[in-house]
Every structure is written in C-alpha cells, then in structure tokens.
Amino acid sequence: MSAVCALAVAGTGLTGCSSEDPDAGTNGVGKLAPEKIQSRTRSAAAAVDTVRLSGSVVAGGTSYRLDMRLKSAGGTGSVTADGVTFHLLRVDDQLFLKADAAFWNHDDGSGKSGTASDEAAAGKLDGKYVKVPSGDPSYKKFSGFTDKDLLLGDLLTLHGKLGKDGYHERGGVRSVRVTGDGGSGGTLDVSLEGKPYPLRLVRAGDAGTLTFSAWGQDFTLEQPSKDETVDYGKELPES
C-alpha cells in the first residue's frame, strides 16, 4: 500500500484503497486477447501427456458422467449413463469394459429383463473386464472417452465471438475466464499459475460442465490379467 493510501485509510477508517494488479505474479495470459488465451490453453493441453477429466458431457442426446484419467497411450476411469456406471480401460489400441450384471442384462424397454440364458451370460461378465473388439460399434462409441487428444480437441472450443469475463479462482488456482458469445457459446477458465492449462469448461447449450486437473501427473496403464478378463469374441452383447 502506498504512503498516500495508508494516510487515507488512517484518516477515514477504510480498510484499503489500493488496486492490486490482477496479473502480478501470474503467467501473463490474462493480459492477452481472448483468441490468444484460447490458443495458448489448447497448446498447453496438447503438449502435456496426462490429465484428469471429470464432469458431464451430453453427446447424441445422452448425458454421460465422466471421471477419466487420460494419457497419449490410453485412459482409464468410470462413465455413468442412464443411471448405470461402467469402467473403461484402454491401453494403446486395446479397449476393455467392466460392468456389473445389470449393465449386460439390461431392460430392453419392454419392461421385461433378459431371458434366463441372457442372465446367465450377464452373470459370467459381472465384474470382469470384457475386451471390446475393434469392429464392434461399442469400440467407437466408448474409445473416444479414453482418447485425450480427441476429447480435448473437440471440447476446448468455444462458439461465437470470444470475450473475457474477468478473473476467478478454481480450486485455489487463479484463473481468467474466456467466453463464447458472452457465455451462451460456453466458458473456459484458464490457469494464471504455471502453464495456462484449462481448469473448467462449461459447454454451450447446456451440453455439460467439465473440470481438468492433475496435468502432467503420470499414472500407470496396464492391461488386466487373464483371470480378470473375458474375451467375448467378435461382437459384444448389446448393452
């Protein structure tokens, strides 16, 4: 606080009168135009190998709740859709899905569950990793949730004219917020500390909210052991 400000505070009883520089001690991206901030955060996200992504995504009319750890070689974590949670694990090109019997023996919409043979098959899959054949529709549907570059490339884009919505804080980390069309095209909070990593994304059109953390924190990806795995063959049962 300056000497003039200190005298003013002492004479008036005010608690403070200085205006702190919001960019002091930061990585400086808050000073940039919003287009530059978006470009910097996309580059920072692409350059680092690992991240944790959690939150909700609406895709194809379905809302998915994600909690995934991602790296260039694959990813692992949980996905919840329609009240059912399953686990995904991808190591290189090998994708595995683990769920309970209820996931496999689903209600087909008629109000009736599966047949006795369906229930028996679901029981064998209960709690086991099922290797998803690359040609199965489920492979394309679910592998995207484990693909860091694909996910972030699609997600870290705001729509409409870019602007800034001031300085904020996410999880104790100072951030600057970038908006698309004043917020209707989404908002993205970018770290002002260290690398300008994305911290929180609110997608346009109520299409989900995601948080990003653990940037650069490595983790191990290993294929499940044989006794944890069921190889269902060329095509998975419908789920």
Domains and CATH numbers, the chain: 29-231 (2.50.20.20)
pLDDT tens digits, one per residue of 199-233:
999 999 999 999 999 999 999 999 999 888 887 65
Determine the Cα angle at 122 with ends 117 and 123, to 5°. Answer: 95
Q: What's the confidence (pLDDT) of residue 14?
A: 44
> Which band of pLDDT confidence, cut at 50, 70 and 90, is reported for residue 7?
very low
Query: How big is the chain by its Cα radius of gyration, in Å?
Result: 23
Q: Is the pLDDT of residue 116 over 50?
A: no
Q: What is the mean pLDDT of the chain?
A: 85
Helices and strands, number each (H, E), in the chain? 6, 12
Q: What's the confidence (pLDDT) of residue 98?
A: 95
Cβ contacts of residue 90 below 8 Å, gap of 6+? 74, 75, 76, 96, 143, 146, 147, 221
pTM for this model (two decimals):
0.81
Using CA of residue 21, residue 27, residue 33, residue 34, what is the dihedral sign?
negative
What's the token pair of residue 236? 């998975």
Q: What's the confidence (pLDDT) of residue 21?
A: 87
Residue 17 · residue 184 · CB < 8 Å: no
More confident residue, 174 or 10: 174
Q: What are phi and psi of 137, to 5 degrees?
A: -55, -30
